A and B are shown apart, each in its own frame.
Chain A
Amino acid sequence: MWWRSASFILDNSRNPVNDDVPPDSITISPPPLTDSTAAAAPTLQIPNFNRNMSMSAYYQTRAAHHGVVTSDWLAQAQEAAAATGAVDGQEDGGGGTGGRAFSVIDEFNSWRKQPDLAEAVAAIRALAAVIRNSEANTMMELEIELKKASDSLKSWDTTSISLTAGCDLFMRYVTRTSALEYEEFNSAKCRLIERAEKFGEISCKARRIIAMLSQDFIFDGCTILVHGFSRVVLELLKTAAQNKKLFRVLCTEGRPDRTGLRLSNELAKLDVPVKLLIDSAVAYTMDEVDMVFVGADGVVESGGIINMMGTYQIALVAHSMNKPVYVAAESYKFARLYPLDQKDMSPALRPIDFGVPIPSKVEVETSARDYTPPQYLTLLFTDLGVLTPSVVSDELIQLYL
């Protein structure tokens, strides 16, 4: 803040200390890390994934799925993969799954290669595989084993909200379902695995439910602004097109991974009139927009969403022009997080290709997503129904308390 008052002189003496912490090694360095471990004690050099790889695993998967990959990105991804591989080995050595060849992370990685599978579903399938491979004899043992697996999974990619939420959800099911306690161990195990297998279906079904719920909100002749590529939003628009609704879609470009391009391709196949915008043209076109549809990486406890970079500013513009902002998200993306502001999350990083070399002195903001506070959102379409943002917390409390 440039208007800092005199008492802030105190801060200046501290700043150099902070700057020393992240070594100035790569051109696309992460911004001065805000999470506590990095700046608190340089001596505590625990392998922090955010620092080792400049792209979060979540976005790697997405990039692979979308097939829009730059050469720069590939190199980064390989580097990151090497880094994570090393870490994997480390973790398995110390972790609970150590004795065996089975690794929950490998399992998870193999599941998430499937393009249509949501991250949370992959996580739950991976946990199901843990159960299947488990040699535990009691429910308690199994629970401990699962807990370890889900913890290692969560710490493997701290940036993915739906991975965390999926793990939490499944753990919650295992620990809190009272029906399991009265059952014989093997049948309880079977039931858990069955439940995990079903979860994929549930996730697909959730998308269909959301698509059906949202149809009432799409009227003939409306113009919809879409940001980012969200499978739910695509499903929703697809259903609307199938229902012979007449509408127009404006797609933002979605730099840097150009997710908007991909969505516009999909929509063009459905014969929906699409217009592509560059990300900075949102305010320019907002007055012809009737509603904004976005997906969500995660829905947090305040009712706000964490989504691809740019969602916040679109929501702000829409709010100032009194346009409704609708969020389509499955309920397994509800996470027990409560960011207070933009920097209050573990940052998910993503390299940005500017097409020209960037001087090493210039810092690049590589955060991949932002937080949209609930007051800028109109409604959330979830498989639990159409919710106002404040209901999210109620659902979460009921789920986790």
Chain B
Amino acid sequence: MDARRGVRAVPKVRQVGFFTANPPPPSRSQSVPADSTSPPLSDSPASGNSLSPVMIPPPRHLSDNLSHLRSAAVPVPDSSSRRPIAGEHVTVVGSYNPPDSVLGEVVSPNFSEDNSEASTTLGWFGKSGSGKFTPGSSFPGGGFDLTTVKSEKFTAKDAKKNTGVPETSGGVAVEAQNDIPSSSKPTKAESKAKPTKAERRALQESQRAAKAAAKGEGNKSAVASGGATSGKPTKQSSQKKDDPLVVSSIVGADKKTGDRSVDKERKKDVPPPRMQFDDKNRVGKAKKRAMFNQTEARNRVELFRHLPQYEHGSQLPHLESKFFQLDSMHPAVYKVGLQYMSGYICGGNARCIAMLQSFQEAIKDYSTPTEKTLVRDLTAKISSYVSFLIECRPLSMSMGNAIRFLKSRIANLPLTLSESEAKAIICKDIDQFIYEKIILADKVIVGHAATKVRDGDVLLTYGSSCVVEMIMLHAHELGKQFRVVVVDSRPKLEGQTLLRRLVAKGLSCTYTHLNAVSYIMHEVTRVFLGASSVLSNGTVYSRVGTACVAMVAHAFRVPVLICCEAYKFHERVQLDSICSNELGDPEAIAKVPGRKDVNYLDDRANKENLQLLNLMYDATPSDYISMIVTDYGMIPPTSVPVIVREYRREHLLIG
């Protein structure tokens, strides 16, 4: 399990996502700003960054104040105001940060850059919805990355605490912290009101000091003691009396260290929540580490701000030009990353296989550096590859499962093995995974599903799923007489590729678009759908539009069969398509290629009151699903948890 995909911590994810994803629409509520020059003291905590009055943001680095300032000061939605700042940020920080660069170095230029408060803090919290997040483990220095990950975790946790969610595991330190943020908040606001140069200097110094302390803590934090945590609160309170300015940052640093021991323990069983892209702290952190040119997405749809914004088109040439600079990235991984980004490789299985094979290449060329063990270093290496791939395109859950498998295999290698042996074993494992979990699984699924095709059937499928295609071809080879309805939708029109292959094999097909699905459903007797992932409450996470097809089929009492390999099953529970999803290119839905006459949106794409939403996936509730065909046989959607359990056990047996 790589650090990013904090899939099991769903409540936490939801909380963070929804706190920040539900701001009052800025354009309406703040169309007449109270005072654009001075930061509003009274209403900023409530209206600023969509933080409810109860929820006081972590007081560490003033980033929230920054956002208050910004959103309140400008009458238009914050997106327009954010853009120039982000651009500015890019020019300062530089788009390419080698993974081993120290955080402090990157930060320092910012302070001299501008004397507005906003940009002062930008170095720490460069705000961008499009920022890609790299997990801490991409840093070679083991101790160092711990601090970053922890501090990011901390924000989420702190937020939760402040809303009154009882946090038991925090112990003494947490109890003390519960009241400190609220008390330190007003002082901070005061300090914000009149930032003098001297004060800012002091702030910077304190932040730097805190950072250094945190780093020091981090390096030895493997067995962070409980004693340290209990010592912190007293220190905080004493300092608070002295200097209200320094307090905020020091408190943050203290909390970071205090929480670390708790976090450390927890991290073992609960992975950190996934990246929330409206969480500016974390996005800023991630952005510094990313090797991409971060651009700011425009006009983001409110509910989906927490998702990574689409920016692939603009990134591709940029990244291609950097091919020879990336010393840490293996060329095979790099290639696959570019292929993901350009959309050359798409489809769950293809992406997963490409990823695993690129890892295989990388492992073949890998040699353990001196004074390092293969197990630890290779895991870190894989993590850095994974984070690169995520920057190219968010991983699917099936790929997460595959990575988890790979890491567990690496972690469980006997220490006595020589390097070449270990590498051979891992490569063999990867081959085995691809063969058993994907290729063989598909064969089994095809065998099962073909028994459900009868003569005279009319099968409907949506989009292009390779398993469904194999099923239809297999049933056709068996001599069954059936017809296929391929339902498709803009903008990807994947169904056409499927249709092309089916027609070439001599199947009789009907092609229609999603708009006509309720008409065509009358004559359909079976609906076969693929899935990107199946979640443990039976929800099927698949190409956007699948839920619609399944719902219509359910209404017409047509059985819906989901064909999905068991390695795509995930123990997460998801109720809607909002929490985790992927955003596609908004241009793709605004423009129709090859149609010059459809140009109504050409000049409107940059309007602030127009938001384009191109979702990639949706969640189909289990009520609409009659059967899930997996390599374990045909099961009802209620039995997914059983398979997940069995599957994990199998993993443990192998690994």
Contacts and interface: CB of A to CB of B under 8 A. Distances in A.
A10 B483 contact: yes
Interface stretch (A34-42, A77-85, A87-95, A130-138): A34-42
A10 B638 CA distance: 37
Contact of A1 (B523, B559, B632, B634): B523
Nearest to A38: B455
B455 A301 contact: no
A329 to B, nearest CB: 17
Interface in A339-379: 340-341, 343-344, 374
A340 B643 CA distance: 21
Contacts of A36: 454-455, 478, 480
Interface string B635-652: 110110011001000000
Interface string B519-549: 1101100100000000000000000000000
B559 A301 contact: no
Contacts of A5: 519-520, 522-523
Nearest to A44: B479
B522 A390 contact: no
Give the dominant DSSP class at B's interface: mixed
Interface string A389-401: 0100110011011
A393 B642 contact: yes
Nearest to A7: B510
Contacts of A34: 454-455
B368 interface: no
A393 B636 contact: yes
Given A34-B454, A36-B478, A394 B639 contact: yes
A4 B523 contact: yes
A217 interface: no
A394 B478 CA distance: 31
A182 interface: no
Interface string A115-153: 000000000000000000000000000000000000000
B104 interface: no
A338 to B, nearest CB: 4
A18 interface: yes
Contacts of A343: 454
Nearest to A4: B523
A305 to B, nearest CB: 14
B390 interface: no
Contact of B479 (A40, A390, A393): A40
Contact of A301 (B456, B561, B635): B635
Nearest to B639: A393
A7 B559 contact: no
B627 A390 contact: no
A338 B522 CA distance: 23
A14 B508 CA distance: 12
Chain B contact patch, size range = 20 to 34
Contacts of A228: none
B522 A3 contact: yes
Given A1-B523, A40-B478, A11 B634 contact: no
B523 A344 contact: no
Chain A contact patch, size range = 20 to 34
B633 A336 contact: yes
A284 interface: no
A340 B635 contact: no
B523 A303 contact: no
A390 B636 contact: yes
Given A1-B522, A401-B646, A340 B478 contact: no
A344 B452 contact: yes
A39 B508 contact: no
Contacts of A11: 456, 483
B522 A4 contact: yes
B480 A40 contact: yes
Contacts of B642: 393-394, 397-398
Interface string A225-255: 0000000000000000000000000000000
Nearest to B454: A34
B607 to A, nearest CB: 41
B626 interface: yes
B611 interface: no
B632 A401 contact: yes
Contacts of B184: none
A34 to B, nearest CB: 6
Contacts of A390: 636, 638-639
B110 interface: no
Interface in A6-51: 7-8, 10-11, 14, 18, 34-36, 39-41
Contacts of A401: 632-633, 646
Contacts of B339: none
Residue among B508, B526, B561, B633 with the highest chain A CB neighbour number at 10 A: B633
Given A303-B636, A336-B633, A340-B626, A7 B481 contact: no
Nearest to A3: B522
Interface in B533-590: 559, 561
Interface string B605-634: 000000000000000000000110000111
Nearest to A35: B454
Interface string B438-481: 00000000000000101110000000000000000000001111
A223 interface: no
A302 interface: yes
Contacts of A18: 455-456
Nearest to B521: A5
B654 to A, nearest CB: 16
Interface of B: 452, 454-456, 478-481, 483, 508, 510, 519-520, 522-523, 526, 559, 561, 626-627, 632-636, 638-639, 642-643, 646
Going nearest first, the 10 A-B pairs with the smallest beta carbon separation are A390-B638, A393-B639, A340-B559, A338-B634, A39-B455, A302-B636, A394-B642, A40-B479, A397-B642, A393-B636
11 contacts: A1-B523, A5-B522, A7-B510, A36-B454, A40-B480, A40-B481, A302-B626, A302-B627, A338-B627, A340-B559, A397-B633
Given A5-B520, A338-B627, A340-B626, 17 more contacts: A36-B455, A39-B481, A40-B478, A40-B480, A41-B479, A301-B636, A302-B626, A302-B636, A336-B633, A343-B454, A390-B638, A394-B639, A397-B633, A397-B642, A397-B643, A401-B632, A401-B646
